[in-house]
Amino acid sequence: MEASMHLDQNPFFRKAITPWYDTNFSCWVLVGVMSLVFIFAVVGIFVASSVSDFSCHIWFPGFLAFLSFFLVVKIVARVRHRAKTN
């Protein structure tokens, strides 16, 4: 008698529930917002390089542009990987 047999709480045939912040829609919204942040940062780099008083602060928009571009690349890679596996 198999009275101690437990039900599998995580069966392999069920699809995992994706949290709302990791859905395709929210990822694409984040890509759009980060693209706007990237454009804003690039404009900041041009302004900081054209005004000599701001040249010592050019690192901040440069770092912001790097971070926003990196995030866009990572999210697009995640969405593409998710599209390939489905």
Averaged pLDDT, 63-73? 98
Asked whether residue 47 is domain-assigned, the answer is yes
Asked whether residue 8 is domain-assigned, the answer is no
Q: Print the SS3 string covering 10-44.
A: CCCCCCCCCCHHHCHHHHHHHHHHHHHHHHHHHHH
Asked whether residue 56 is domain-assigned, the answer is yes
Asked whether residue 9 is domain-assigned, the answer is no
In this prediction, residue 21 has a pLDDT band, given cuts at 50, 70 and 90, of confident
Provide the domain count of the chain: 1
Asked whether residue 39 is domain-assigned, the answer is yes
d(CA 65, CA 86): 32
In this prediction, residue 17 has a pLDDT band, given cuts at 50, 70 and 90, of confident
Asked whether residue 1 is domain-assigned, the answer is no
pTM of the model: 0.76
pLDDT tens, residue by residue, 30-61: 999 999 999 999 999 999 999 999 999 999 99
* CB-based burial, 46-57: b 16+ in 10 Å, e otherwise: eebeeeeeeeee
Q: Which of 67, 60, 33, 66 is nearest to 45 (CA)?
A: 60
State the residue range of the domain holding 59.
Answer: 21-85
